[in-house]
Structure 1
């Protein structure tokens, strides 16, 4: 995640999320191989990340254990995909020709110079194979011979290492390492495979109190002024996972299809399962939370609407958010700066430029046409 940017006369500095848990590659080296349950938990996160990228027309093209980092050193730390240096924008099924990737993990069609987004599925299949046995399916002593094996696409499950691995695991690997990319499974399909559904099943589905709080928070968010909604979205982008607590697990439990978005139907079904009464105006509430007008609530929008007030009224948290809007660093947010943030960042909304003045006026207490930090803090601390 990108938190903030700075620049001087010579450089641009990117402040990004710090992942201290090391590479997936290092954990493979340390463990040798993973149990099926542990491997499934990792692969589920991997498939979800790839599915999300593909849904937004992004193909990574260099998935490998070195490009997955753990957030921290805990055994159940979340997995993050990194290094989009070879990634490209690509419509579903669109053919690509640029050769990219790493020998062990590259799909045969990439070597042939005619491939689509399912090159990432192939790489996931190779990683899954390695997680379960400790070595790659296409092994040789040098890159030339490795690539020869990849081009053939032939691999086996040696009995001495695979006799105790379930048929479901082998079936999913076969579907991911299908030579014909037309028949190769997508990340979306992999998430629905029985091995993932059973081995990576979570015990957390969100209880009635959790879901009641979510509904109350969504209602409350709707009542906030437009400027505060945008500020909360910025804060949501900057929060550490440790700050979010159970909200991430609640979001994932509601997100039945693992696409990183909550539809009206998913929220309805999740609330009904836990016995929470739904507000009659749920669809209108959803539209207010859906700041980018996508038709569903993404993760950042969900966190923005449901985070604990104790988090976002902290002075240091508000100051970090204020600086995102105060582009020139003069201690005030102007109409032009607000328009720039709305037009370029992830907090872009369907508000339109004609409402920017109204947003400023709702918070500008001294009438100078701008928002200073004291006014910003008062807005954040004010209850609806």
Structure 2
């Protein structure tokens, strides 16, 4: 089956006995042992049929054998990081989600060394990976600077380290890290996969059974499991992933081009623009530039965000409604200011998440909001 067909059919065959074409929602916390032959479901922290249907679908989207879903993207990231032990070294791309940075800070308290590097600089990448690492952590596109990392190059230089790719910004509709040699694809399914800003979730997709077993064991012990209704909502949302991502990408391109010509904008960061330094990876590694746009604003970011009518000033991304936020004030606020500035997350940086509203209305809304600073 091709990708768009898998979105609809994987993990959701008609239910035996009733013929439901939508998998039922299993809300039970426990299961009668003597009603099963053979016994397979015991307690919903460990097993849940609705959860398993979602996992089958998400694994199929990357031609993988395994997927473990979690109660949030942070829970999924924590499970991936549980592979590390004290004394080991993690190498990460320098521009990562604020919550990921906070997790890395926790790791450092337990004797795990965390090193950051500019993964868009081949020389720096070779240098930082010349010393043995247990794990390489990549966000591409990165949050919020939208830097693209050449995954083939990272895998070639990883020297046996487990390569984990946070693929949240691209989603499997635009990029499939496992095809490029990574061992694990990580998702906050809250974002593009579910797509409607009404459910939290996370996922780890891999093709290595031993890794999958460790992820599931960690989830069962620590309890970061999504319930049946949450899994149903994510599975329902994923059906329209391709349609939403295509529309959102077209809108983001229009927004980026408008911003690039706006006097109030100092710089636009969007992989769909010819000025983007890693533009060559769009069309090769990624099938499209995505729907997140970041830009540096010459005016007051808070006033701009207060003036938009269609863009809601809120964190998160990837949903059907357009959002606007200032990372320095919101998603990346936990990162020390000096660290943020060194990476390029300045106080004037604004991030947009394009929704599925009429593109002309979104362009007009943002243009009108910027005119308030004239």
TM-score (norm 1): 0.25
Larger Rg: 1
- Structure with the higher strand share, 1 or 2: 2
TM-score (norm 2): 0.26
The structure showing larger relative contact order (alpha-carbon pairs under 8 Å, at least 6 residues apart) is 2
- Structure with the higher helix share, 1 or 2: 1
